[in-house]
C-alpha cells in the first residue's frame, strides 16, 4: 500500500449525522455507495482520477446526499457514518445497521 493510501486508511473515522450535517450545508459532503471501498474512492479523489470519479458519479456511487437521505438522517441524528476528509470534501459512507 502506498503512503497516501496508508494516510487515508489511518484517517478513516466514524461520526454521527449531527456532526456531519454542517458539511452538507457548506456543500462539501459527498456520499459513497455501500459497496464501495471508502479509502480507495478517497485515494482516487486525492489523485484527481477524473475518469474514475466521473464513472462513480454517473453510476450514482458518488454523489451529494439526496433530499430523501437527508430527511431520513435528520430523523436519526445519532446515525453513524464512516468518513474521510479529502480537502475540500468530506466523504461519507452510511454504516448499515444489522438486524438479526
pLDDT by position in tens, the chain (length 100): 699 999 999 999 999 999 999 999 999 999 999 889 999 999 999 999 999 999 999 999 999 999 999 999 999 989 999 999 999 999 999 998 765 5
Question: Whole-prediction pTM value?
Answer: 0.91
pLDDT of residue 12: 95
Query: Cα–Cα distance between 9 and 5 in angstroms, integer?
Result: 6
pLDDT of residue 74: 95
Amino acid at each position: 500500500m502506498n503512503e497516501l493510501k496508508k494516510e487515508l486508511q489511518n484517517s478513516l473515522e466514524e461520526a454521527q449525522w449531527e456532526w456531519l450535517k454542517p458539511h452538507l450545508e457548506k456543500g462539501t459532503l459527498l456520499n459513497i455507495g455501500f459497496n464501495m471501498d471508502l479509502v480507495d474512492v478517497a485515494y482516487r479523489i486525492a489523485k484527481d482520477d477524473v475518469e474514475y470519479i466521473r464513472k462513480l458519479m454517473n453510476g450514482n456511487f458518488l454523489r451529494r446526499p439526496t433530499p430523501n437521505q437527508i430527511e431520513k438522517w435528520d430523523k436519526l441524528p445519532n446515525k453513524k457514518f464512516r468518513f474521510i476528509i479529502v480537502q475540500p470534501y468530506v466523504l461519507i459512507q452510511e454504516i448499515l445497521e444489522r438486524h438479526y
